Amino acid sequence: MIPAGRFAPSPSGDLHLGNLRTAVLAWLFARQTGRRFLLRIEDLDRARSGAETAQIRDLQALGLDWDEAPTRQSERTEFYSEAIDTLNSQGLLYECFCTRRDISEAASAPHTVPGQYPGTCRNLSEAEKVRRRRDRPAALRLRAAVERFTIRDLLHGSYTDAVDDFVVVRNDRVPAYNLAVVVDDAAQGVDQVVRGDDLLSSAPRQSYLAKLLGYPELEYAHVPLALNSSGQRLAKRDGAVTLSQLGVNRSRELIFASLGLPASLPEALKAFDPRLLPRGPWIFSERAEDDGLGNDETVGRSH
């Protein structure tokens, strides 16, 4: 199987320019290295009616293509079940009955590492598990044997972060993101993951889980996000930020200009050099200015 890169949006709404910029980068990374490029719809959590269709339309409008029909996580549950059974058979999963409030209160206790699960349910007795099952369904957590794990990233170099006993199956029995994404990448032959750098801290957990499951190591490239003028992640509240609002040509212009590339996908592929990518976030701001069509013109600048 030829290795692949991928773009994996959640169908919760329209893709904004920051999402589309990441998709363009994922496509460029994959195509430049002779990889297949895949589109995966990550719809386990939430899906808004019509969002998947709109997202595919916008990606195609920018000229992006993929080598197989788009896949959906909601149709891949047998893969997750197999991985869960493998982990369970090795004694690597345990039931957790904690609520968010329980975890929040435990996290404020002395000597607890902020943001990490403190292991409250790690060593419950069988009698205690039976008692707690009467009150609340259990999630399944990974019994991690390391505290930290290191990955290699094309843009960030060697990156090490914490690995705690993270959830792999939610208490509604839905596979958690950290499990599903690892299983999907391995099953689809994805060996290169290009995504926003807000997910960089998740990579050590996912890479550690992949190692436990015997999957090959991935090549990562966590790319800078698009931020608004206040330094917050770009969102629909920031005005005209989607392709349907700005139009295909203007959107393409802004995205490729922010990367220092020609506003043509074939030409951008010829000119693409990951070493020259901007390392800071793309600061995207809206300026009230007549563009001849009666709309505000949106401008972007790269930092």
pLDDT tens per residue across span 245-266: 999 999 999 999 999 999 999 9
Reply yes or no on whether the pLDDT at 109 is more than 70.
no
Note whether 154 and 254 are same-domain residues: no
pLDDT tens per residue across span 52-80: 999 999 999 999 999 999 999 999 999 99
Was 118 annotated as part of a binding site? no
Nearest to 81 by CA among 164, 210, 11, 168: 168
Note whether 171 and 208 are same-domain residues: yes
Note whether 71 and 83 are same-domain residues: no
Note whether 86 and 210 are same-domain residues: yes
pLDDT band at 47 (very low <50, low <70, confident <90, very high): confident
Was 10 annotated as part of a binding site? yes
pLDDT tens per residue across span 142-191: 999 999 999 999 999 999 999 999 999 999 999 999 999 999 999 999 99
Reply yes or no on whether the pLDDT at 241 is more than 50.
yes
Give the total number of structural domains in the chain: 2
Note whether 182 and 247 are same-domain residues: no
Is 236 an active-site residue? yes
Q: How far is CA 183 from CA 17, 70, 124, 187, in A?
A: 28, 16, 28, 6
Was 96 annotated as part of a binding site? yes
Domain holding 16, by residue range, is: 4-75+224-302
Give the global pTM: 0.90
Give CA–CA dist 200/204, Å, rounded: 8
Residue 287: both structure tokens together: 């300026």
Note whether 132 and 146 are same-domain residues: yes
Note whether 275 and 265 are same-domain residues: yes
Angle at which helices 77-89 and 177-187 cross, to 10°: 110
Q: How far is CA 229 from CA 195, 199, 242, 296, 298, in A?
A: 22, 21, 16, 16, 12
pLDDT tens per residue across span 213-227: 999 999 999 999 999
Was 152 annotated as part of a binding site? no
CATH label of the domain that carries residue 108: 3.40.50.620
| pLDDT value at residue 303 | 36
Was 236 annotated as part of a binding site? yes
Rounded to an integer, the average pLDDT of 6-13 is 95
Note whether 56 and 186 are same-domain residues: no
Was 7 annotated as part of a binding site? yes
Note whether 81 and 211 are same-domain residues: yes
More confident residue, 103 or 303: 103
Note whether 98 and 178 are same-domain residues: yes
Was 78 annotated as part of a binding site? no
Catalytic residue, from 129, 211, 236, 270: name it.
236
Note whether 132 and 250 are same-domain residues: no
Note whether 69 and 82 are same-domain residues: no
pLDDT tens per residue across span 199-208: 999 999 999 9
pLDDT tens per residue across span 262-284: 999 999 999 999 999 999 999 98
Was 97 annotated as part of a binding site? no
Rounded to an integer, the average pLDDT of 28-39 is 98
